[in-house]
Homo-oligomer: A and B are copies of this chain.
Amino acid sequence: MAEAVPGAPAGSKSEQAYALIKARIVEGTYSPGHRLVLARIAGDLGVSVVPIREAIRRLEAEGLVTFERNIGATVAGIDPTEYLYTMQTLSIIEGAATALSSPLLGAADIARARGVNEQLRACLKDFDPVRFTRLNQEFHSVLFEHCPNPHILDLVHRGWNRLASLRSSTFRFVPGRATESVDEHEALLRLIESQADADAIEKAARLHRSATLDAYLAQSSAADSS
């Protein structure tokens, strides 16, 4: 039971590579279109190419990278319509996850979500997009983390990852939506508190995200014509 190096992360090298590359894509170190050369990454991590190949294949199956024979791997998501499709998919999945999770939310969860939302509201002045995004994710995480269906939960997390990887390059926030967003959060919380039926909660959660998408598209088209 000898540990190799005390400070080293656990798991096989292929898993370490998978986690690291994924993190770099999500956090934006590797932007969409970035070319992932196997030998180069292997050299950076001090391992062989075989574990890197495995990691890339897994990321490919998750939709974070594209991989072509004899061409190489690139971080996916250059196409701007990708953003639309990802947001649309996430709105559907997240809406369902929230609806399935809502009956299992206790008063403590509601209170916690409301607390996060108040931090969001306080964040409206001295607006910090990064902080706002993080708090927003935390708010929604509280809402759907009790979802009993692991597949749906997994899809939500994949959607968030994919969204983060896309936004890292095209990071144009919509400040005008922020205020509305916080209000919609409060409305959603009240809907859950009142134990509204699942359809209503699902629809509200889905529309909340769709509205963000619409605002983004409106801003994009405005930016294009300017």
- Taking CB atoms and an 8 Å cut-off, the chain A residues in 78-136 that contact chain B are 85-86, 88-89, 92-93, 96
Do B96 and A92 touch across chains, with their CB atoms under 8 A apart? yes
A63 is an interface residue with CB less than 8 A from chain B: yes
Taking a contact as CB atoms closer than 8 A, the residue among B57, B92, B149, B151 that contacts A152 in the complex is: B92
A155 touches B89 (CB 8 A): yes
A60 within 8 A of B: yes
Say whether A85 contacts B149, CB under 8 Å: yes
The answer on a CB contact under 8 Å between B93 and A92 is yes
For A174, list chain B residues within 8 Å (CB).
none
A63-B12 in contact given A57-B58, A58-B58 (Cβ < 8 Å): no
Q: Which of B58, B151, B203 contacts A89 (CB 8 A)?
A: B151
Seen from chain A, the residues whose Cβ lies within 8 Å of a Cβ on chain B are: 11-12, 14-15, 50, 53-54, 57-63, 69, 85-86, 88-89, 92-93, 96, 149-152, 154-155, 199, 203
